[in-house]
């Protein structure tokens, strides 16, 4: 069997097996299969009819024809390196037979050289096959890698589209939630404004009750001395009619003294009214020199009398310890007064609740409700303490007492804004508010204000 037939058979078989699924060569598959059958039949005939020259020449033409068609046809460009590997062997083999046919003596002289050349073409063919095979494997790996990358790209694109759809849906949902939250926030702010106003009016009501009690004393003095002066004037008319000038002078002296007292108590009433107006007005935001001791004393008394006016059964002891070395400091008086009123009201409320509870239990131990207000000058700051011997504050709620709307009072008795506003006011002044407490024994709120 000539080597050309074997080579042609494996070359055609290689064409069929090596083409990609998407290659245009797939349309040649049937024709290539038929060519393999034809070559196989010729090889079988060559075995039966040993060394038949006709089959040898047919084998040459099949091999060279296969190489020519494969090299020239564009569908077979994928195999051109393989064709180049086989071509030298096919040409040399063909020329060897042609020379042997034309001039036998010459062929015998160069036969050894032709064998060497033929061996070289076989070596070339094997080497090229190895190279082509490596290239084919590399190309196959590259193709598989490309397919994997394309598959990944398709997956990523599909995933991206899915994520974009999810993001769009989530964005729409978040926008709806944002609108709902903005609406809820708007309503919350309106409610907060209303509650702050309610807290302000509640403290104003307590303050007004205290003011009414405080203002009653100077008004009583004014009314009493006015009545006395009226009587003295009538008496002076009688003395003038009698011509008793010495007595008239004594009466005039008494009237002047009474007028001084009327003026003093009138100014006291005027100061109380101005204090009420300052508390009821919005804060101007302007710091002014303020006597902290006087402010604390005034709001302590106003708070006490305000609670007494609301509840006649309420009674408590209040004590003060003011540092006389404290001079006027720059603060917003209305705001600090509001803080003091909140803290003192809470202190009185706590001792009153504890007293009610002890009265109900009829405990033998005597309990005296007491609120203690003190001031102290420290290095670069003023300290104001409001302490009570009431129920104290539970450790469970201690972290929440400065939160807006948090309250331990029963419904309707507190808005939960007093301590929150107090905390914010002191922060705005560059100060702080802290608490020391023991549940069931005491609570002490400590205000600290900077001063220079």
Average pLDDT over residues 267-281: 60
* Maximum mean pLDDT: which of 109-123, 242-256, 262-276, 438-452: 438-452
Which of 140, 156, 172 marks a domain boundary? 156
Tell me how many degrees the CA angle 201-206-211 measures, rounded to the nearest 5: 115
pLDDT in tens, 25-51: 556 667 667 777 776 777 666 666 655
Which pLDDT does position 135 carry in this prediction? 76
Least confident of 83-92, 145-154, 300-309: 83-92
pLDDT in tens, 391-404: 888 888 888 887 76
Answer whether residue 201 is part of any domain.
no
- pLDDT higher at 170 or 237: 170
Which pLDDT does position 38 carry in this prediction? 72
Answer whether residue 184 is part of any domain.
no
Average pLDDT over residues 110-120: 74
The rounded percent of the chain whose pLDDT value lies above 70 is 69
Which pLDDT does position 227 carry in this prediction? 80
Do 147 and 291 lie in one domain? The reply is no
List phi, psi (to 5°) of 375. -125, 150
Least confident of 110-124, 193-207, 256-270, 326-340: 193-207
3-state secondary structure of 444: strand
List phi, psi (to 5°) of 260. -60, -45
Least confident of 184-193, 211-220, 243-252, 419-428: 211-220
Average pLDDT over residues 415-444: 85
* Domain CATH for 406: 3.30.565.10
Which of 124, 156, 188 marks a domain boundary? 156
Average pLDDT over residues 358-379: 83
Least confident of 65-69, 287-291, 419-423: 65-69
* Maximum mean pLDDT: which of 90-94, 114-118, 343-347: 343-347
Strand order in the sheet with 370-378: 317-321, 370-378, 381-388, 442-450, 432-438
Least confident of 170-174, 308-312, 328-332, 430-434: 308-312
**Which residues constitute the domain of residue 47?**
3-156
Asked if pLDDT for residue 413 goes beyond 70, the answer is no
Answer whether residue 169 is part of any domain.
no
Asked if pLDDT for residue 206 goes beyond 60, the answer is no
Answer whether residue 172 is part of any domain.
no
User: Can you list the pairs that 116-124 forms with residues at least 24 positions away whose Cβ atoms lie under 8 Å?
Assistant: 117/92, 118/89, 118/92, 118/93, 120/88, 121/88, 121/89, 121/92, 121/93, 122/89, 124/85, 124/88, 124/89
- Mean pLDDT (the chain) is 77
Q: What is the 3-class SS of the chain, one letter each residue?
A: CCHHHHHHHHHHHHHHHHCCCCCHHHHHHHHHHHHHHHHHHHHHHHHHCCCCHHHHHHHHHHHHHHHHHHHHCHHHHHHHHHHHHHHHHHHHHHHHHHHHHHCHHHHHHHHHHHHHHHHHHHHHHHHHHHHHHHHHHHHHHHHHHHHHHHHHHHHHHHHHHHHHHHHHHHHHHHHHHHHHHHHHHHHHHHHHHHHHHHHHHHHHHHHHHHHHHHHHHHHHHHHHHHHHHHHHHHHHHHHHHHCCHHHHHHHHHHHHHHHHHHHHHHHHHHHHHHHHHHHHCCCCCCCEEECHHHHHHHHHHHHHHHHHHHCCCCCCEEEEECCCCCCCEEECHHHHHHHHHHHHHHHHHHHHHHHHHHHHHCCCCCCCCEEEEEEEEECCEEEEEEEECCCCCCCCCHHHCCCCCCCCCCCCCCCCCHHHHHHHHHHHCCCEEEEEEECCCEEEEEEEEECC
The rounded percent of the chain whose pLDDT value lies above 90 is 10
3-state secondary structure of 407: coil
- pLDDT higher at 374 or 283: 374
Number of domains in the chain: 2
What count of other Cβ atoms lies within 10 Å of the Cβ of residue 120?
Answer: 13
Which pLDDT does position 1 carry in this prediction? 42
Average pLDDT over residues 374-397: 90
- pLDDT higher at 285 or 306: 306
Average pLDDT over residues 176-203: 75
- pLDDT higher at 188 or 72: 188
Which pLDDT does position 374 carry in this prediction? 94
**DSSP, res 26:** G
Average pLDDT over residues 432-438: 91
Strand partners, 346: none
Asked if pLDDT for residue 282 goes beyond 50, the answer is no
Answer whether residue 271 is part of any domain.
no
Do 151 and 291 lie in one domain? The reply is no
Answer whether residue 374 is part of any domain.
yes
Answer whether residue 105 is part of any domain.
yes
Which of 112, 131, 156 marks a domain boundary? 156
Which pLDDT does position 444 carry in this prediction? 94
Asked if pLDDT for residue 164 goes beyond 50, the answer is yes
Which pLDDT does position 396 carry in this prediction? 84
Answer whether residue 194 is part of any domain.
no
């Amino acid at each position: 069997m000539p080597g050309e037939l074997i080579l042609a058979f494996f070359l055609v078989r290689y064409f069929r097996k090596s083409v990609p699924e998407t290659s245009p060569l797939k349309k040649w598959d049937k024709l290539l299969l038929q060519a393999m059958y034809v070559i196989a039949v010729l090889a079988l005939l060559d075995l039966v009819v040993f060394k038949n020259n006709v089959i040898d020449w047919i084998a040459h033409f099949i091999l060279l024809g296969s190489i020519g068609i494969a090299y020239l046809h564009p569908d077979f460009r994928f195999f051109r390196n393989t064709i180049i590997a086989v071509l030298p062997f096919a040409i040399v083999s063909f020329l060897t037979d042609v020379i042997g046919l034309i001039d036998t003596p010459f062929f015998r002289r160069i036969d050894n050289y032709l064998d060497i050349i033929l061996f070289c073409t076989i070596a070339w063919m094997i080497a090229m096959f190895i190279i082509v095979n490596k290239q084919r494997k590399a190309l196959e790996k590259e193709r598989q890698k490309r397919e994997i990358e394309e598959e990944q790209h398709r997956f990523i694109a599909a995933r991206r589209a899915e994520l974009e759809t999810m993001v769009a849906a989530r964005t729409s949902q978040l926008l709806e939630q944002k609108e709902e939250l903005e609406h809820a926030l708007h309503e919350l702010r309106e409610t907060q404004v209303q509650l702050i106003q309610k807290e302000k009016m509640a403290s104003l009501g307590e303050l007004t009750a205290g003011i009414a009690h405080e203002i009653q004393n100077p008004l009583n003095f004014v009314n009493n001395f006015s009545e006395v002066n009226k009587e003295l004037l009538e008496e002076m008319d009688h003395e003038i009619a009698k011509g008793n000038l010495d007595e008239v002078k004594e009466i005039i002296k008494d009237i002047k003294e009474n007028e001084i007292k009327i003026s003093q108590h009138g100014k006291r009433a005027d100061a109380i009214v101005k204090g009420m107006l300052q508390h009821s007005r919005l804060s101007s935001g302007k710091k002014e020199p303020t006597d902290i001791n006087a402010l604390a004393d005034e709001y302590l008394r106003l708070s006490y009398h305000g609670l007494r006016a609301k509840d006649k059964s309420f009674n408590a002891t209040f004590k003060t310890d003011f540092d006389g070395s404290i001079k006027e400091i720059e603060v917003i008086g209305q705001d600090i007064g509001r803080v003091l009123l909140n803290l003192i009201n809470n202190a009185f409320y706590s001792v009153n609740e504890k007293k009610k509870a002890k009265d109900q239990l009829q405990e033998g131990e005597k309990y005296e409700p007491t609120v203690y207000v003190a001031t102290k000058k420290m290095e670069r700051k003023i300290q104001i303490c409001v302490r009570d011997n009431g129920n104290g504050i539970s450790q469970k709620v201690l972290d929440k007492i400065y939160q807006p709307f948090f309250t331990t009072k029963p419904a309707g008795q507190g808005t939960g804004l007093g301590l929150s506003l107090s905390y914010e006011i002191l922060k705005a002044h560059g100060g702080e508010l802290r608490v020391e407490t023991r549940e069931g024994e005491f609570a002490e709120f400590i205000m600290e204000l900077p001063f220079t």
